[in-house]
């Protein structure tokens, strides 16, 4: 069976499946390798997963995020005290007028610049990060894996955040009587929410890297401050974003 015939077969099977979550792929982070819903995603079913036990993979991914969430949250709570001692206020965000109909706003520009800056920083310090991993291996191999996980999270979301914030601000002036505007409002909030989730995960991952790489405290604190400001500005523009219900993820 060639690829074309295989795709036709899977498309037919897709229409017969009742376990799929409608629209689950619309507001995900596009990180299929780490997603706990690939076995119930029609988009993934059509494009990936040939010969793979998706339910087992989804279960492992669900555990991956649960474990990292606990580790990162505890770590970030610890470094917050150090941030306060250094006089850095992560809540210090100036008031903004967000009545815009395009993407010219601080959140979009700052997140875009963050993507370039963090990517350049990771490239510049690649060897030092590897060295930090080698040192951790002498103490606890699990900590090496967590550092690698944190690095992977930061890398994945580096430009994803700005892309979703860009989309969230594409149409920000809504007319409740316009059906198209209802869709845009829905899409704006969904895009803003997944951007906020990506920011939270990046903040937590950078916090873990800060704990394990104190020699780079200044740079990492700067990234943390930038992400925290971006988060506050997105929330100021979309205060109800986190109430948005993403199909599957928030049911």
* Residue 225 included in any domain: yes
* Residue 249 included in any domain: no
d(CA 52, CA 73): 32
d(CA 158, CA 117): 9
Are both 142 and 191 inside the same structural domain? yes
Are both 104 and 192 inside the same structural domain? yes
Are both 237 and 121 inside the same structural domain? yes
| Dihedral sign (CA 94, 165, 110, 146) | positive
d(CA 27, CA 183): 14
Tokens 């015939």 -> residue: 5
* Residue 250 included in any domain: no
Are both 77 and 140 inside the same structural domain? yes
Are both 111 and 7 inside the same structural domain? no
Are both 129 and 182 inside the same structural domain? yes
Whole-prediction pTM value? 0.73
Rounded to the nearest 5 degrees, what angle is found at the Cα of 202, between the Cα atoms of 222 and 41? 160
Residue after which a domain boundary falls, among 62, 89, 109: 62
Are both 15 and 74 inside the same structural domain? no
Q: DSSP string of the chain? A: --HHHHHHHHHHHHHH-SS--TTTTTTS-S-GGG-TTGGG-HHHHHHS-TT--HHHHHHHHHHHHHHHHHHHHHHHHHHHHHHHHTT--TT---------SSS-SHHHHHHHHHHHHHHHHHHHTHHHHHHHHHHHHHH-HHHHHHHHHHHHHHHHHTTHHHHHHHHHTSS----TT-HHHHHHHHHHHHHHHHHHHHHHHHHHHHHHHHHH-GGGHHHHHHHHHHHHHHHHHHHHH-TTGGG---TTT--
Are both 69 and 152 inside the same structural domain? yes
Tokens 């604190």 -> residue: 221
Are both 90 and 41 inside the same structural domain? no
**What string of pLDDT tens digits covers the 251 residues of the chain?**
565 566 566 666 666 677 788 888 778 887 887 888 888 887 777 666 544 556 666 666 677 667 667 766 666 666 666 666 655 555 554 444 444 444 456 899 999 999 999 999 999 988 888 777 676 665 555 555 677 888 889 999 999 999 999 989 886 554 455 555 555 578 889 999 999 999 999 998 898 888 888 888 889 989 998 998 899 889 988 888 999 988 888 76
Specify the number of domains making up the chain: 2
Are both 205 and 228 inside the same structural domain? yes
Tokens 């020699």 -> residue: 215
* Residue 177 included in any domain: yes
CB contact set of 169 (below 8 Å; sequence gap of 6+): 100, 102, 103, 105, 107, 108, 188, 237
Are both 43 and 153 inside the same structural domain? no
127: containing domain: 64-243
Tokens 């799929």 -> residue: 20
Are both 96 and 179 inside the same structural domain? yes
Residue after which a domain boundary falls, among 15, 35, 62: 62
């Amino acid at each position: 069976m060639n690829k074309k015939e295989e795709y036709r077969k899977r498309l037919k099977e897709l229409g017969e499946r009742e376990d799929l979550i409608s629209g689950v792929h619309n507001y995900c982070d596009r990180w299929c390798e780490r997603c706990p819903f690939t076995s119930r995603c029609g988009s993934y079913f059509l494009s990936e997963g040939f010969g793979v036990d998706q339910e087992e993979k989804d279960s492992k991914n669900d555990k991956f995020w649960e474990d990292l969430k606990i580790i990162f949250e505890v770590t970030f709570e610890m470094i917050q005290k150090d941030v306060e001692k250094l006089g850095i206020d992560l809540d210090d965000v100036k008031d903004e007028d967000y009545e815009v109909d395009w993407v010219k706003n601080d959140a979009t520009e700052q997140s875009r610049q963050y993507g370039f800056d963090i990517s350049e920083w990771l490239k510049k310090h690649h060897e030092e990060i590897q060295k930090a991993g080698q040192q951790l291996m002498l103490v606890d191999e699990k900590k090496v894996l967590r550092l690698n996980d944190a690095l992977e999270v930061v890398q994945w979301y580096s430009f994803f955040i700005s892309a979703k914030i860009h989309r969230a601000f594409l149409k920000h002036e809504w007319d409740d009587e316009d059906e198209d505007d209802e869709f845009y409002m829905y899409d704006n909030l969904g895009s803003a929410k997944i951007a906020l989730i990506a920011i939270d995960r990046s903040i937590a991952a950078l916090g873990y890297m800060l704990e394990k790489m104190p020699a780079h405290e200044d740079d990492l604190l700067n990234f943390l401050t930038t992400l925290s400001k971006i988060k506050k500005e997105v929330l100021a523009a979309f205060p109800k974003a986190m109430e948005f219900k993403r199909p599957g993820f928030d049911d």
